[in-house]
Structure 1
Amino acid sequence: MRFRHRAAAGFATLLLPLAGLTGLADPAQAAPDSSAASATYTKASDWGTGFEGRWTVKNTGTTAISSWTVEWDFPSGTSVTSAWDADVTSSGLHWTAKNKSYNGSLAPGASVTFGFNGAGTGSPANCKLNGGGCDGTTVPGDAAPSAPGTPTASGVTDTSVKLAWPAATDDKGVKNYDVLRDGAKVATVTTTSYTDTGLTAGTDYSYTVQARDTADQTGPASGAVAVRTTGGGTNPPPTGDKVKLGYFTEWGIYGRNYNVKNLVTSGSAARITHINYAFGNVTNGRCAIGDSYADYDKAFTADQSVSGVADTWDQPLRGNFNQLRQLKAKYPHIKVLWSFGGWTWSGGFGQAAADPAAFAQSCYNLVEDPRWADVFDGIDIDWEYPNACGLSCDTSGAAAYRNLMQALRAKFGTGNLVTAATTADGSAGGKIDAADYAGAAQYVNWYNVMTYDFFGAWAAQGPTAPHSPLTSYSGIPTAGFTTADAMAKFKAKGVPASKLLIGIGFYGRGWTGVTQDAPGGTATGPAAGTYEQGIEDYKVLKTSCPATGTVAGTAYAKCGGNWWSYDTPATIAGKMAWARNQGLGGAFFWEFSGDTGNGELVNAISNGLS
């Protein structure tokens, strides 16, 4: 798994004029511009009878903004048909967009983008932001409350839990708090605690809290706390029909000390539907074992084992395969696929494409080996990249990929899963254009579109940029390198949205020698990382360099001379909402060990898709 790409067009930014400002103070009498903000509009695409529009709200002041509302007028015949990353409503020709719970807070200099699909040909007019001007010259009105502190849970029983949280702040005073369970309001209280009752035993819940001030303005949601009620067994299958897939790396059991059992202790096993075991090798045109010791030989101690029983010297199967077998016994809803290739081992696919049937037969023989056939439910192919360049360059032709996937489906049949990790390079003439992904789609259950690693410190001098942008933004280093463009290109080629999974990286990409807080700064090289320069796990970054802003749906932070971008539970919530809006088949992530010990990123994906 490595970097991806895609295509956009050069869009002019339209700064809408100040209009319709009534009841505002004269500029000469206005308060100091400590909480100013601006809103800009771009038309991202136009297909004659409709278009995609995008608004970017930026905090141009010196204090944080806790919420935002953008208003505008459309001419008759123009309307919003769908929207993402904002709640959009209308009254006649007047339209209003309010922030979601996860993107209302903006630090100084930070920005957020929301989008919509429109019908008609008109353009917005009479823009207002928080009741003031959209050009950043008018101070927004009374600020909404801050986010309360993340709740803590205590007294958990089969049917109830007690929640408590640090108070929110507001310039006019906090009136009450809304308690949200799995995103839906369950209570409004005037204190900073609440006991939720009537719950189901052995069930996972997620709680957040929002404050409301005396002007009835609602602030952003707090961080989420995951709660599992007692009783009810150990294996509730995930709700919904979306794929929730995580990669488990065979080498993670070494330096990272991350075992299959960690999926249980973190709570992640109850929240996923599929695991990709990475990686099997591809050599001499055939599927091969990646690491025999890790795969089926290593003896796990009782405290390392899913079952709590130590491996013995003479048992038929040990290693990760046996641990995955134990995991499936405990969580039978989980399906496991063996993933072959990856960045390092993709060089063998070119030879495999010369004889697809022989390759498929070798893979089938290995996956269905009687020693571990019950462990795997199918095969995943991670070819980086067909008829294009990754670690090495492939020249097998545009049809090779389709032929390979056709042979795999023919061999594995309809009773097994056949999936593939793909590039996210949606740029004009980029990697998506290099191979027949549309032709191959009929043979796969889904594509894991690697919508991360678009930008990183392999460009040592920068510019700094989010490695997993959801959408384009002003100043993006390469047009087409975003999730939205990649998905749009796949769909335009005829790949069904239901066969596309959005990808999330459980790590950040970073530079050092950076002086600029906002994206687009220069650098001197990669920031230091635990295992590799320029990359660090989310579980480390969340405390060592907490996020200070968002751009294109991804968080970023500058700490000293280091600049990092990574996804947080809040940005994942936004991406999952976007994925649902686009009709995607679900989400996947690379990889489990980058998450916190309580699986907060997995939880964000699961909650966002359920």
Structure 2
Amino acid sequence: MGRSFRRAMWAGVVAALAVAAVPVTAAFGAGNLTTSFTSTSDWGSGHEVRVTVTNGTDAPVSTWRVEFDLPSGTTVSSFWDADVTRSGNRYTAVKKSWAGAIAPGASFSWGYVGTGGYRAPSNCTVNGAACGGGGTPNPTTTPPTTTPTTNPPTTPPTTNPPPPGDQKVVGYFAQWGVYARNYHVRNIHTSGSASKLTHIMYAFGNTTGGRCTIGDSYADYEKAYTAAESVDGVADTWDQPLRGSFNQLRKLKQMYPHIKVIWSFGGWTWSGGFTQAAQNPAAFAESCHNLVEDPRWADVFDGIDIDWEYPNACGLTCDSSGPNAFKNVVSALRSRFGSSALVTAAITADGSNGGKIDAADYAGAINNLNWLMPMTYDYFGAFAAQGPTAPHSPLTSYSGIPQQGFWSDAAIQKLKSKGIPASKLLLGIGFYGRGWTGVTQATPGGTATGAAPGTYEAGIEDYKVLKNTCPATGTIAGTAYAKCGSNWWSYDTPATIGGKMSYAKGQGLGGSFFWELSGDTTNGELISAISNGLR
């Protein structure tokens, strides 16, 4: 996952969640606009519900409002893809600002996790009209003041369901995000992202001296969390054996048992040690196993991820360890960690002829890997200060693209042609944009004078910022771009991510991964688009 400032999961489900519940559906109708509630998972102490609003009219429905009662003892603990408020046992859900109109014959789904076993809602209304499943609220009653339910209770439920389907949704958690970004493991829960993730990549561990080493001990396992900062609302104590993000991840896994956590090593800044590691892969693997399986946090991690940028090629530094080095390192890791651990790798997405994919034997390593993550972003950016402007994460080629082979489909097709199974490839998504300044041309291909201003680094900005400061003005090659004043940005939106997920499904890919969690909105717009798009 390229830069230390920016980069850069259903492997199994615990037995308690392994028994799939038969979907139970309650349908309500208001004219030709209908709503159905489907229990997609029910594990006794909780359940997950998909709510589908279907437009049976002959005209688009630009806004909708669903109101319903839940039986006593059943509450909504988290939700996604709708804005939900609560008063007593009555809930109101309205369309998200980013969601478009529902076309005639089309539908839109949102969802929630409820406490207790599934019990059908009652007294449902759609856009104010009575639903067929119950009576309308008393019209003489003054509408109660609603209270937002976005924030979870102080003591959240101990079990939460995995996302539906068998495709992986893998998100990177940036170790340094706990500082200036003020993004902590708790945010994965409060944003609703945890229920959609299958795997979390913890980035990064270091590779100093050809060994796996701690990158930041304070962030990793020393930082003391207050009750307000902690995942479960319980403060760290001075004498507890494990604190920091590692302990927070442990708590998150207790709440969401389906999530697997993988420790990622390397990245743009810390890949230099892989050159020495390749000289003695067995010693490297032994050091990694000793660190990942340290008794203080062995239960936190389910495997190891190698983010070597780039074997037998140049990144921040150049490596000349040969085309077999990557394969040999992966083989040693699999041998040491065993067959039950997850061993994965983030790799180049350079699909050009004779490019970085051709520099290493990724196909030779695939049998020892659970999956590969080609980093299908950062193809273009203000590291070429004068432009031409181009989307940093194009899905396909387009007329005028600055470099051949620099698009996602080129990388996927090249890797598949080398014999790598599609099911072991995940499509990469960036939760950030890349931009230039001094640009006069609205469409791609314009000249620039340098990098556009960014919150943490010139030329880079989070999606959560760009969606408001520089909304998308066009799309090209399956991704979006925007021009605001003299600044020009490219980034993915929920809509373009939906298209990319359709591509991933059509190609038979194993799912998607993204860099990184803190770039998303506080209610997880982008991860929702990934999760919904892969269903």
TM (norm. structure 1) is: 0.68
Q: How does 1:486-505 map to 2 (within 5 A)?
A: 486-505=411-430
Matching residue of 1:231: 115
CA distance in 1, matches of 2:34, 2:375: 37
RMSD: 2.8
Displacement of 1:228 = 1.9
Indicate whether 1:449 and 2:374 are aligned. yes
Matching residue of 1:242: 167
> Would the alpha carbon gap of residues 599 and 485 (structure 1) be closer, same or farther in structure 2, given more than 3 Å must change?
same
CA distance in 1, matches of 2:233, 2:493: 32
Matching residue of 2:54: 186
CA distance in 2, matches of 1:475, 1:180: 46
Displacement of 1:209 = 6.0
> Would the alpha carbon gap of residues 178 and 431 (structure 1) be closer, same or farther in structure 2, given more than 3 Å must change?
farther
Matching residue of 2:359: 434
From 488, 498, 521, give the equivalent of 1:596. Answer: 521
Indicate whether 1:257 and 2:125 are aligned. no
Indicate whether 1:195 and 2:63 are aligned. no
Matching residue of 1:399: 324
Displacement of 1:186 = 3.0
Displacement of 1:237 = 1.1
CA distance in 1, matches of 2:51, 2:111: 14
Indicate whether 1:355 and 2:280 are aligned. yes
Matching residue of 2:431: 506
CA distance in 1, matches of 2:65, 2:453: 43
Indicate whether 1:295 and 2:220 are aligned. yes
Matching residue of 1:536: 461
> Would the alpha carbon gap of residues 206 and 443 (structure 1) be closer, same or farther in structure 2, given more than 3 Å must change?
same
TM (norm. structure 2) is: 0.77
Given that 2:27 and 2:34 are in contact with CA atoms closer than 8 Å, whether structure 1 keeps it comes out as no
Letter in 1 for 2:184: N
> Would the alpha carbon gap of residues 519 and 162 (structure 1) be closer, same or farther in structure 2, given more than 3 Å must change?
farther
Indicate whether 1:338 and 2:222 are aligned. no
In structure 1, the residue corresponding to 2:458 is in which secondary structure?
coil
Matching residue of 1:424: 349
Matching residue of 1:482: 407
From 515, 525, 529, give the equivalent of 2:450. Answer: 525
Q: Highest Rg: 1 or 2?
A: 1
Given that 1:337 and 1:378 are in contact with CA atoms closer than 8 Å, whether structure 2 keeps it comes out as yes
CA distance in 1, matches of 2:225, 2:80: 32
Matching residue of 1:382: 307
In structure 1, the residue corresponding to 2:358 is in which secondary structure?
helix
Matching residue of 1:549: 474
Given that 1:248 and 1:277 are in contact with CA atoms closer than 8 Å, whether structure 2 keeps it comes out as yes
Displacement of 1:180 = 9.6
> Would the alpha carbon gap of residues 201 and 470 (structure 1) be closer, same or farther in structure 2, given more than 3 Å must change?
farther
Displacement of 1:367 = 0.2
Given that 2:80 and 2:523 are in contact with CA atoms closer than 8 Å, whether structure 1 keeps it comes out as no
Count, aligned residues: 439
CA distance in 2, matches of 1:247, 1:462: 29
Please list every run of 5 or more consecutive structure 1 residues that lacks an aligned counterpart in the other structure: 4-157, 165-174, 213-217
From 503, 507, 510, give the equivalent of 1:578. Answer: 503
Displacement of 1:609 = 1.0
> Would the alpha carbon gap of residues 604 and 492 (structure 1) be closer, same or farther in structure 2, given more than 3 Å must change?
same
Displacement of 1:206 = 4.2
Matching residue of 1:282: 207
> Would the alpha carbon gap of residues 161 and 461 (structure 1) be closer, same or farther in structure 2, given more than 3 Å must change?
farther
Matching residue of 2:128: none
Matching residue of 1:34: none
Matching residue of 2:296: 371
In structure 2, the residue corresponding to 1:532 is in which secondary structure?
coil
Q: Percent identity?
A: 67
> Would the alpha carbon gap of residues 438 and 595 (structure 1) be closer, same or farther in structure 2, given more than 3 Å must change?
same
Please list every run of 5 or more consecutive structure 2 residues that lacks an aligned counterpart in the other structure: 4-23, 38-49, 83-98, 117-156
Letter in 2 for 1:432: I
Displacement of 1:459 = 0.5
> Would the alpha carbon gap of residues 311 and 184 (structure 1) be closer, same or farther in structure 2, given more than 3 Å must change?
closer
In structure 2, the residue corresponding to 1:240 is in which secondary structure?
coil
